[in-house]
Structure 1
Amino acid sequence: MPANATSATDRLTTTQDNDFPSSFQTDGRRERGNRNKAAVVAALLDLYAQGEIQPPAARIAEIAKVSERSVFRYFDDMDDLSAFAVELQWSRVKDLYEDLISDGNFSERLAAIVEQRLHLYDKVESVYQVAVLAARKNAVVASALKKRRSILRHQTMKQFAQELDNHPDSANARRILDFTLSLENIDYLKSAMGLSSTKRSETLHAAVSILFHLQH
């Protein structure tokens, strides 16, 4: 994707804002095009949710009830469509990144962040897995993934600032804590280890408690 490509969120805003002349807004073909574009993105997100991480354009078009040619009328290629869908889905769960109770004692703060991360993972699981794959060759997705990791890392460090400051090996403790509460680790606990939501929660609680030599 070109370096100066606009983000999916920017393009979504451009598609939906009301700065166009009224004659342009009411143009039937443009409205139909917008509906079809939205249908294509919705179809891809539905397929992601069903576990189809790299569906072909024909499959997306079938679900969206548009022609396969239409898919590439709205997006440059499959990478462009994937980047748009990933950013759109992440924008829908933005509040989950910010919804974290940071008050209370260690046990309360630990419970709050574990609940937040597990809930967030449940909401973005399929898109997250796509993003990890797409980030290897798509600069837009890679940048978005890096930004969201940074947000969660900052939250984690803030949530346990007191414990980290008092830890005898603070540098390593920060790295271990960052990974333990990352979406990557939660994905591993579910996908590789087959743990239920309850067991994932228990594991995260135990790991952080052991790190700080505390009982939750």
Structure 2
Amino acid sequence: MSSISASPVDGRSLRRERNRQDIVDALLSLIENGETEISAALIASKAGLSERSIFRYFDDVNDLYRSVCDQAFSKEIEYALIDDAGVGSLDMKIENFVNQRVRIYTMNEKIAPAARSFAFKNPVIKNQLVVGRKLLRTQIIKHFAEELSVFDKQQQQVAVAIIDSLTTFEYYDMMRSDQKMSVQAIKSVLTESIRKALQ
């Protein structure tokens, strides 16, 4: 009887992927915990690796942050789906839409502020935020297509801009952090505001 063991190459590849993932997890954890001054030494310490090894697994800082963004985005994507998108009465559409937005922002209460802070100095994160905002804006147009269809083009643009502004993370964070509103109170404000924007 013979057994086939993993080749040294396979072992190195697995170790490389594991170490690479440990670095991504470490950086994501630091961001989620509110760290704003993140050095290679801090990431390495969190990952349990040497500082020198970090850029053995990533081409540069942008490559590392790109991997972190990809992982965070993959976690968010399931939360970004609107239940019964574009279906049902206006009340049902608004309820599903508001629930989806609050779900996304509740999940990202820690990482979102840090991501926006890093975006000023990291083009990868900045681009990821731009892509995310575009996706959420497109959802508005598709989800409320029936209601928007009765408006002329200018009215449509205004309505979409209002709903888009009302349902940004920044607006959610202002109500949650500055105004100390409960999640249910925020949902009520968004529900009434969106309804008025579509009238």
Q: TM-score, normalised by structure 1?
A: 0.75
Aligned residue in 2 for 1:47: 30
1:183 aligns with 2:166: no
Alignment of 1:28-177 (within 5 A): 28-102=11-85, 103-167=87-151, 169-177=155-163
Q: Output the CA distance in 2 between the equivalents of 1:25 and 1:130.
A: 38
User: Deviation of residue 110 (structure 1)?
Assistant: 0.5
User: Deviation of residue 77 (structure 1)?
Assistant: 4.2
User: Deviation of residue 105 (structure 1)?
Assistant: 0.6
Q: Is the 8 A contact 1:156 1:181 kept in 2?
A: no
Identity score, percent = 31
**Equivalent AA in structure 1 for residue 19 of structure 2:** N
Q: Output the CA distance in 1 between the equivalents of 2:34 and 2:121.
A: 21
User: Deviation of residue 79 (structure 1)?
Assistant: 4.1
Q: Output the CA distance in 1 between the equivalents of 2:12 and 2:94.
A: 52
Which stretch of structure 1 is more off in the superposition, 134-143 or 102-111?
A: 134-143
Structure 2 stretches of 5 or more lacking a match?
Answer: 1-5
Q: Output the CA distance in 1 between the equivalents of 2:114 and 2:9.
A: 34
Q: TM-score, normalised by structure 2?
A: 0.81
Count of paired positions:
191
Aligned residue in 1 for 2:3: none
SS at match of 2:195: helix
Which stretch of structure 1 is more off in the superposition, 152-161 or 90-99?
A: 90-99
User: Deviation of residue 173 (structure 1)?
Assistant: 1.6
Aligned-residue CA RMSD (Å): 2.5
Q: Is the 8 A contact 2:34 2:114 kept in 1?
A: no
